[in-house]
Amino acid sequence: MDRLEFRLLGSIDACVGGRRLDTGPRKRRYVLAALLLDLNRPVPVERLIDAVWEGDPPDSARMTVQGHVYRLRRTLVGARVETDSSGYVLLAGPESVDALRFRRLVAEAARRDDGSGADLLDEALALWRGPALGGSGGGRSLEVAAVELEEARLAAVEELARRRLRLGEPERLVAPLRATVTANPHRERLVSLLMTAFYQVGRQAEALELYERTRRLLADQLGVDPGRELRNTFESLLSAQT
C-alpha cells in the first residue's frame, strides 16, 4: 500500500503514491500545515486559528477550524487526527513529512565527516520544491515557521558549500550557489562561498566582480559596508593573485 506523505517544503500538499490529494481550500491547508509542524503533539485550537488568520480572526474562526479538521480526517486516509482536550493532534510517522525529514538529514549530516555529510545535505536540499509552506500567506505563526524553515535551508546550503570546498569540489557548487545568491543577494556568507568557488574553478574575475556588485548593493540598499568575513575573502583572493 502506498504511503501517505506530506509536503511543506514548497506548496502544502498531501500525496499518496505521488498523487496529490485534494486537501481543499487554502485555509484548510494552513490548518494541515500547523498540525504537521507539531506532528504527534497536541495543537491548541487557538494556535490553529493563529496559523490561518492574520490580525483579528472572525467570530466563526473556531467553528471554521473544526470544519476544516473534520474534512481533513476524511481526506487523510493513513493518518489520524484526534481530538485533544485543548485542540487536535495529527498522528503519523515523522518520515512522512518532508520538513521533518529535512531536519533529520541536516542533523545527521552534522555528525558525519565532510564526504558523507555533504551527501546527506544534498539529499536534504533535494526535498525542497519551492518556498516553504508555499510562501505562506497564512497567519503569524505560519509566517514565523516559514521564515525558520527558509533560514534552515540557507544554513544547509552554506554548510554544504563549506564541505564541498574542503573536499576540493568547487565545480559542484557554482551553479546552485549562484542561484541561491541571486535570490539572497544580501547574505554575505553565501556571497563569500560563491566567490571562493569561482576562484577555485579559475574564474577569478567573476569572483572579484561579485564582491564589487555586492559591495555596491549593500551600500545602496542598506547603507553598510561588507562585513569582516566577506572582506577577508576578498582580500585573500586579491593576495592569491599577486
| Residue ranges of domains in the chain, CATH in brackets | 1-167 (1.10.10.10), 168-242 (1.25.40.10)
pLDDT digits (tens, 9 = 90+) for 189-199: 999 999 999 99
Mean pLDDT, range 173-201, rounded to an integer: 95
Per-residue model confidence as pLDDT tens digits over 93-146: 999 999 999 999 999 999 999 899 999 999 999 999 999 999 888 899 999 999
- Looking up cell 509536503 gives 7
User: What is the percent of the chain where pLDDT is above 70?
Assistant: 99
**Distance (Å, rounded) from C-alpha 94 to C-alpha 40?**
8
DSSP for 46-85, please give it: HHHHHHH-SSSPPTTHHHHHHHHHHHHHHH-TTSEEEE-S
d(CA 119, CA 16): 27
Contact 165, 200 (CB under 8 A): yes
What does the pLDDT read at residue 238? Answer: 86
The pairing of beta strand 43-44 with beta strand 19-20: unpaired
Label residues 189-199 b or e (16+ Cβ within 10 Å = b).
Answer: bbbbbbbbbbb
Report pLDDT for 193.
97
Return mean pLDDT, the chain: 93
